[in-house]
Chains A and B, each alone.
Chain A
Amino acid sequence: MTDFIRKLQQRQEKALAFVVNTYMPYVKVIAKKILQHSCGTGAVDECVNDVFLAVWQNSTKFNGDELEFKKWIGTITKFKAIDMYRKQKKNETVSLEHTKEQEDNKNGEVLYLRKEQKESILIELQTLPDTERELFLMKFYLDLSNGEIAAALGITKAAVENRLYRGKKKLATLPTIKERLE
C-alpha cells in the first residue's frame, strides 16, 4: 500500500489492516521478548492489542516516513511492555514499592497518572530525537529512578541528571509533560 501513513491518519480502515498485517509480526516479537517469560501469553496479546489501538488513535501525532514509523511503533511496544511488566512486579512486591512511593513523594513526583495521561506521555515523547527519547521515556513514562536509568544506559547518574536538566526546555513544549514539570 502506498502512502499508508496518510491513509491511516485519515482513519481509513484498510490502512489499519495494512499496518496490522505488516507490523504485527514485529510488534509481537518485541512484546513477547519482554512479557512472555515474566507475565505470560495473555499479557503479550494485551500489549499487542494496546499498541495497535494507541497507534490507531494517535496516528495523526506521527510525523515521519515509513522507516520512522517502524521505529515509532517499535518504541511504543517496548515501553508499553516494560510498563506492563513493572505493574505486574509491583503487584508481586507491594511492600517494597510502597517504600519507593514514599520516597518519590518527598521529591514531589506525581505518582499516579491516569492511563490516558500516561499514553499521552508515551506518544508525545516520541517526537524527541533518538538520542533523548529513551532516557525521557524511562524517566517520565516508566518513572524509573536516575540510578536505574544510569544502569540501563551505561552512563553515570550525574550524566543522567545532566541530560535531564538540559532536556527540560524541550520537554516544556510537550503539553502533558509540561503539566508534570510544573
Chain B
Amino acid sequence: MNELQEMLQLNIDDIEPESVTQIEKKRLLHNILNKKKHRFLHYAVAVGLMTFGIGSSVLVLSPTIAAQIPIVQNIVDYFNGDTTQFTYFKDYATVIGSMQTSNGVSIEIGDAIYDGTTVTIAFAIESKKEDFGEHPIFGSPIVTNGNVQGSSVTSIKKVTDTTYAGVITVTPELTGGSPRTVSLSWSPGSVWNHETDEIVEGDWSFEFKLKKINVEGIPVNYTDTRKDFILNVPSVDITGYTINVPFEVEMPSKYELSNLPYNIEFEVKDEFGNEYEMLTNLAGSTTKHAAKGSYTFANLQSGSDRLTITPKLIHENEEILFDSIIINNPEKSGK
C-alpha cells in the first residue's frame, strides 16, 4: 500500500486525540479571529457605551524612564518596501516616547496617529535575554475609549536577536461617530514566542490620548443598489495619512452579516492607475439585515486630481460592481 492510500484509509472515528497546550489553543483562536476580522466582517457587534477613562482633556502619559534612549529609532522605516502605509506617517504622527520595563523586557511606544477612524501605534520591544522568535504575540489588545471591540492588524519585524519594531493598526468601534480625541490604554500582560511556547509575563501599562489629525470629510451622499443590496457611503474622509470610506449596507432579507456569503470590498484608484492599499476594515450589524463599517486605505498623495472608489460584492468567482464614487481634487484635502 502506498503512502497516499494509507492516508485515505485513515479511520478518523478510531483515533486517540493528543494533548494540546493552552497556549497553542490561544494562539489558534487568536489567528482565526484576526484573520476573520481582517478579511471581512463576519461578526456581529456587541454595542455598549463604556464611560471610564473619558473626561480629561489633558494628554496623560504613563510613567516613563527619564531621558531614555529609544529601543528602535524610526520604527516605521522597517516596514517601507512591504507597505505604502507609512509613506506619510511621520508627517502626521504624535511622538509618545513612553517606555516601560518589566521582567527584563522593555516595551516602548514610539509614535501614533488617530485619523478619526483608525489608530496606528508604532512600538518596539527589547528583551535582555529572550529571543521571541519571528513574530512575538502580546497577551492583551489595545483598549480604545474603554472598548476592546474592533479589528486590528499587528506587523512586527525582528531588528536584532532581541529587539523588534512593530506597528499596530486598529479600527476600534467608536461609539458616537468619530470623537475629537481617543483614550488609549494598553497592558500587554505577556509577550509570547509561539515558536517555542515560551512566555514572559510583565506589568507594562500605557495610557495616552490622541487628538484626531486634520480630516477633510468630503460629503458624497452615495447610494447604489445591486442585487437588492443597498449601499450607502455618506462621506469619504481624507487625511494626509489615510483615506477612510465609511459605509452602510442594507441586505436582502435572506442575508444578515453572520451568513453573508459576499465580501463587501472597496477599490480605490487614481487616474494614474495607482491602487491604494487597504490597511484595515471593520463592520458590525446595526439591525438584523443591515450593517455599517469602514475601510481604511493608505493615502498615496500621488498628485491625483481624481480618485475613483468602486464598491464591490465578491463571492468566489462572482463579482458585483457598484457604481463608482468619484472624488475630485483629493489632494487639496486633509493637508
Contacts and interface: CB of A to CB of B under 8 A. Distances in A.
Nearest to B28: A20
A164 interface: no
Nearest to A52: B32
Contacts of A29: 15-18
B50 interface: no
A145 B8 CA distance: 13
Contact of B18 (A28, A34, A74): A28
A150 B316 CA distance: 32
Interface string B2-34: 011101111011011111100011001101110
A85 B7 contact: yes
A138 to B, nearest CB: 7
Given A117-B317, A152-B5, A78 B16 contact: no
A56 B36 contact: yes
A86 interface: yes
Contacts of A34: 7, 10
Interface stretch (A11-19, A94-102, A155-163, A166-174): A11-19
Nearest to B33: A13
Contact of A114 (B19, B29, B36, B317): B317
Contacts of A151: 5
B18 A25 contact: yes
A3 interface: no
B253 interface: no
B10 A57 contact: no
Category for how many chain A residues contact B: 35 or more
A30 B10 contact: yes
B319 to A, nearest CB: 12
A120 interface: yes
Contacts of A85: 4, 7
A138 B8 contact: yes
Contacts of A116: 316
B275 to A, nearest CB: 21
B32 A49 contact: yes
A71 to B, nearest CB: 7
Contacts of A117: 316-317
A24 B8 CA distance: 21
A74 B32 contact: no
B3 A49 contact: no
Interface in A40-83: 48-49, 52-53, 56-57, 60, 71, 74-75, 77-78, 81-82
B180 interface: no
Category for how many chain B residues contact A: 20 to 34
A11 B7 contact: no
Contacts of B31: 49, 53
Contacts of B19: 25
Given A48-B28, A49-B28, A82-B4, A33 B17 contact: no
Nearest to A73: B12
B29 A33 contact: no
Contact of B17 (A10, A26, A52, A120): A26
A10 B3 contact: no
Central interface residue in B16, B43, B257, by most chain A CB within 10 Å: B43
B28 A148 contact: no
Given A16-B32, A32-B18, A148 B4 contact: yes
Nearest to B5: A152
A89 to B, nearest CB: 8
A24 B21 CA distance: 10
A91 interface: no
Interface string A130-155: 00001000100000000010011100
B5 to A, nearest CB: 5
A120 B317 CA distance: 12
B312 interface: no
Nearest to A148: B4
Interface of B: 3-5, 7-10, 12-13, 15-20, 24-25, 28-29, 31-33, 35-36, 42-44, 257-259, 316-317
CB-CB nearest 8 A-B residue pairs: A25-B17, A152-B8, A74-B12, A26-B17, A11-B258, A29-B18, A25-B20, A60-B259
Interface of A: 9-11, 13, 16-17, 20-21, 24-26, 28-30, 32-34, 38, 48-49, 52-53, 56-57, 60, 71, 74-75, 77-78, 81-82, 85-86, 114, 116-117, 120, 134, 138, 148, 151-153, 176
7 contacts: A10-B44, A20-B28, A24-B25, A52-B28, A56-B36, A77-B12, A134-B8
